[in-house]
Amino acid sequence: MEDWLLPLQQDRPQVAWDKFLSRHRKLIFASIRHYTHDYDEGMEVFAHVCEKLGADDMRLLRARAEDPNPRARFTTWLVAVVRHAAVDWFRHRDGRHRLSALGQRLSPRRRRIFELVFLEQRSHAEAYELLRLREESGITFREFLAELRETYRDLSRGRPDRLIRELGGVPPPDPSDGDAEHPVEASEREARLQSALMDLPAEDRLALQLYVVDELPAEQVAAVLGLSGAKAVYNRVYRLLADLRTRLERAGIRRGDL
């Protein structure tokens, strides 16, 4: 049982909150760093996460900790909650229904693409059709892809690619590159990759995320996952990577495609 749950059940929410943060602060910040390495942004996101988790005397945390049949470990659930809150914070700050500071720096055409793809959450194909029908009937799909790719580039300057992917999907390949694959093929490959990852158990996905993507020390990953030590993390992660590579090759994705 989480050590902060007992004082919470004893109507001592501040003691429970202090224990919760002491135990999970590093994991929360590691999840936030997935989206930003800027100190001020990170602290604002952390405050937003704390507000969400601490609301109503930790109601959300208590409901999860007292769940008799959880579908995943508590730390797995917590990472998902933190990342969802982080993305929501960026969406709120950057504006879902208004131009953000990022969008205002774009050219008029790219600003409209930004609105359609990032704020209105349109697919790339849908954004192209809306742009063509509403405002620029002469734009070709090739021209649209070039502008879309440059929009992603403009937005990702000084910002982790992961956040851009979360907010607006996967950027298309460069249409001017003769070796670039067709956008449909790229989308299908991305879908197969995501499917292979989602087929993994939640704890396996978290192990890969913490050790490979977030680059946490193996000892810390072991503590989060409840493993015996760093060696157990190495064994688990490298086995997962080997299995995942085999599954991707069966799905038609080779090492050089990634």
The string of DSSP letters for 134-164 reads HT-TT--HHHHHHHHHHHHHHHHTTS-HHHH
Instruction: Verify that 109 and 90 share a domain, yes or no.
Output: no
- The whole-model pTM stands at 0.49
- Which of the listed residues 161, 179, 197 is the one where a domain comes to its end? 179
Residue 242 lies in a domain: yes
Spatial separation of the C-alpha atoms in residues 55 and 126, rounded to whole Å = 38
Domain boundary among 179, 197, 215: 179
DSSP 11: T
109 and 48 within one domain: no
Three-class SS state of 258: coil
| Residue 257, in any domain of the structure | no
Q: Is residue 245 part of a domain?
A: yes
CA distance 129 to 70: 43
Judge if 15 and 71 occupy the same domain: yes
Residues 120 and 164 in one domain: yes
Q: Which residues of 134-147 are buried (b: 16+ CB within 10 A; e: fewer)?
A: eeeeeeeeeebbeb
Q: Which residues contact 31 (CB under 8 A, 6 or more apart)?
A: 78, 79, 82, 83, 86, 214
Whether residue 160 is found in the same domain as residue 194: no
In this structure, the answer to whether residues 113 and 90 fall within a common structural domain is no
CATH number for 9: 1.10.1740
Question: Per-residue pLDDT tens for 19-69?
Answer: 999 889 888 888 887 777 778 888 889 999 999 999 998 999 999 888 888
Is residue 256 one of the residues assigned to a domain?
no
Residue 199: CATH number of its domain: 1.10.10.10
Determine how many CB atoms are found less than 10 A away from the CB of residue 104. Answer: 11
| Domain-located, residue 204 | yes
The per-residue pLDDT for 258 is 44
Taking a C-beta distance cutoff of 8 angstroms, is the pair 232, 222 a contact?
yes
CA 187 vs CA 49, 182, 224: distances in Å: 32, 9, 33
Residue pointed to by tokens 């937005």: 155
Average pLDDT over residues 164-184: 51
Please count the structural domains in the chain: 3
Q: 2 or 102, which is more confident?
A: 2
In a domain, 230, yes or no: yes
> Is 255 within a domain?
no
**Residue 206 resides in a domain:** yes
- pLDDT tens digits for range 105-146: 788 888 888 878 776 667 777 788 888 877 666 788 778 888
Instruction: Tell me which residue of 163, 154, 147, 67 sits closest to 113, measured CA to CA.
Output: 147
User: Do residues 205 and 245 share a domain?
Assistant: yes
Domain, as residue range, for 89: 5-94
- Is 113 found in the same domain as 86? no
- Assess whether 12 and 77 both reside in one domain: yes
Domain boundary among 78, 94, 110: 94
In this prediction, residue 53 carries a pLDDT of 93
84 and 39 in a single domain? The answer is yes
